[in-house]
A = this chain, B = another copy of it.
Amino acid sequence: MRYSRQRELIYNIVKGRCDHPTADMIYASAREIESNISLGTVYRNLKALAESKEIDTLETVDNRLHYDGNLTAHSHFICVNCGNIIDLFNEIKTPNELGDMGLSVTQSKCVYYGNCNDCKDIK
Contacts and interface: CB of A to CB of B under 8 A. Distances in A.
Interface residues of A, number: 42
A120 B123 CA distance: 46
Given A57-B61, A61-B59, A79 B115 contact: yes
A77 B119 CA distance: 13
A105 B102 CA distance: 32
Interface in A20-46: none
A79 B109 contact: no
A36 to B, nearest CB: 27
Contact of A119 (B75, B81, B108, B110): B81
Contacts of A114: 77, 79-80, 98, 103-107
B113 A80 contact: yes
Interface of A: 57-61, 63, 65, 75-82, 84, 86, 88, 93, 98, 101-120, 122-123
